[in-house]
Amino acid sequence: MRYLIAVLALAGVIVSVLAFRIHYSNAVEPCDINARWDCGIVNHSRYSAVGHLPVAAIGIVGYLALGVLAFTRRRSLTLLASVIGLAYALYLTNIEAHKLEVWCLYCVSSQVIIALITLLAIFWAFFGRPKQPV
């Protein structure tokens, strides 16, 4: 289970790096699909940073932390961190849906990844068997 969570966390890092790149870019983005799907609008909005820190940078650090926690078998901390990440991702999704009314493909991908990590962490924390000492 820990390897699966770590792989998903790596995917989250990749998606967050792509969003981070858009945050500092003024070029036409590959995810500028139509009026409802535009990563540039989302990643240049006033909601795309906390202070001067881009939300995508928070995602990079968060996914790295989740990967390390899972890889080092910290079940409870992996669960706690994933729930916090999911809550923040849901908050950002609410902003996309109700304030910006534009969706970011990378943000939605990240939402799916953190939701999967959280589900796996719940299963791992409550139903996974700890390794028996030899």
* Predicted pLDDT at 118: 97
Q: What is the pTM of this model?
A: 0.89
Burial 65-79 (b: 16+ CB within 10 A, else e): ebbebbeeeebebbb
* Predicted pLDDT at 102: 92
Query: Which structural domains are found in the chain, ordered by start?
Result: 2-127 (1.20.1440.130)
* Predicted pLDDT at 134: 56
In 3D, which of 78, 105, 108 has the Cα closest to residue 93?
A: 108
Q: What is the mean pLDDT of each run of 10 residues along the chain (134 residues)?
A: 95 95 76 76 88 94 97 94 97 94 92 97 86 60
* Predicted pLDDT at 32: 66
